Amino acid sequence: MQLYFFDIVTPEHVQHDFTGRKLAGPEDARQFAELLALDIECSANERGDTQIKVSDVTGSALCCVKVRPPE
């Protein structure tokens, strides 16, 4: 299990994930980021330029998942 961090990034601010989540690997981290983006899309009025930035314990960015704007 590896530790991954999921920061919520908007043009105005970054909500840092200081706790992280232990997952089996990078693909699981990407899937979790997609689920988190969907949750934010459904529960908040975020703009379309919101992203989930996934990084590992060294701070290296693995991927970014865009939060789609609500329709």
Per-residue pLDDT of the chain (71 residues; tens, 9 = 90+): 999 999 999 999 999 999 999 999 999 999 999 999 999 888 766 566 899 999 999 999 999 999 987 66
Residue with tokens 């899309």: 41
Q: Determine the pLDDT at residue 49.
A: 85
Q: Determine the pLDDT at residue 48.
A: 64
E-assigned strands of the chain?
A: 2-9, 14-15, 21-23, 51-56, 61-66
In angstroms, the CA 67 to CA 63 distance is 13
The pTM of the whole model exceeds 0.85: yes
Q: Determine the pLDDT at residue 45.
A: 64
Kindly list the domain boundaries of the chain, sorted by start residue.
2-66
